[in-house]
Amino acid sequence: MVTRAERTTFGEWWWTIDRWLLFSFVALMVSGFLFGLAAYPPVANKLGLPTFHFVNRQAAFLLMAGAIMVGTSFLNPRQVRRLALLLFLAGLGMVILTLFYGAEVKGARRWLNLPGFSLQPSEILKPAFVVMAAWAFSERQSRQDMPSLTIAMLILPLAVVPLIRQPDLGQTILISAVWCGLFFLAGLHILWVIGLAGLGVSGLFLAYRFLPHVTDRIDRFLNKGNGDTFQTDMALESFLSGGWFGRGPGEGTVKRSLPDSHTDFLFSVIGEEFGAITCILVVLVFGFIVVRGMMRARANADPFCRMAGAGLVMLFGLQSFINMAVNLNLVPPKGMTLPFLSYGGSSLLSVALTSGFLLALTRKRPKSALTDRMPAHQAVPRGAMPQPAGG
């Protein structure tokens, strides 16, 4: 048993980490693997692969994701910023590479084929982008001599232009929404709200007008008789088939006809085999993480930790909402995974970094550890007893 008196690295980590958030992430990882035991084998058999091909790979991915999440949670805020900067530059560089050397799938270039595996660089870019944007917005509050607002304004097009060129509208909308949320938290004027809203609507209109796959998806969503809606129809059929309590693990039949049942539509498989009640419990876990994360971010004394924590929670929560909304046919399909539950190494790497950064930034730290980032009038006076920050 680790006591509060221990001054080891692990001891300090254990008593400063938000264990509610940590256990919630672990619960999602474990439940995701159990749900995958029902969803992955039929997909593997359909593709002519060994029955437990995806199960074994997901187990390896989850172990790596857990190690990355826990390892990242040991970092202090300065180390988080430095790692995010390196990942942002690396992720942006690889996203640009996909435009020239990426594997083309359904008319989009989003993947790099590396020795032994494929990587979707935009997944690495997302959490790093959020941390860098939060840093730029938070510096505006503590360093008036730094062009932080200009940096924050430039970092968005720097990230989204290559994503639009892939094209990847789902990831573009996601990180743009988080960026706007951070801009709002930084205290933007109402005119900026109106301007950004108009820019967002204009961007969606242009995407609908000039990107054929976006036009096709929106048309199919608005007019069910216009084009192929097989995947969303099967997703809804899964929920209807499962009812409140589900058909039982491994007893689902609709999942065998669902093309992406192991990735984008895993939530539908959960509905068919485990029932609507289990789906509600899954939603509650995601909701708890969002509420808990926002509360911890709001209570943090450091502007950077507060902004970055809120941004990472928004990223996690919005991605979860979009995936489940697509499964319920509430929004057009976006090709977005459900954090910690859907199959995929790139997705798990992104979510592990997101959760690891969040755990690191919401750890309890004395104000004396934050004085190098706080304005002089907020610093702890010499000889004063530092109080815990971050709730």
Rounded to the nearest integer, the mean pLDDT of the chain is: 82
**Considering just the CA atoms, what is the radius of gyration of the chain in Å?**
22
Q: What is the model's pTM? A: 0.86
Q: Are 30 and 313 in contact (CB under 8 A)?
A: no
Q: Is the pLDDT of residue 342 over 60?
A: yes
- The arithmetic mean of pLDDT across residues 160-171, rounded, is 86
| Per-residue model confidence as pLDDT tens digits over 276-305 | 999 999 999 999 999 999 999 998 888 899
- The arithmetic mean of pLDDT across residues 343-356, rounded, is 92
d(CA 18, CA 383): 29
What H or E segment, with its residue span, contains residue 366?
Answer: strand 365-366
How many residues are given for the chain? 391
Q: What pLDDT is recorded for position 199?
A: 74
CA dist 26 → 33, 54, 162, 203 (Å) = 11, 20, 33, 37
Q: Is the pLDDT of residue 191 over 90?
A: no
Q: What pLDDT is recorded for position 223?
A: 66
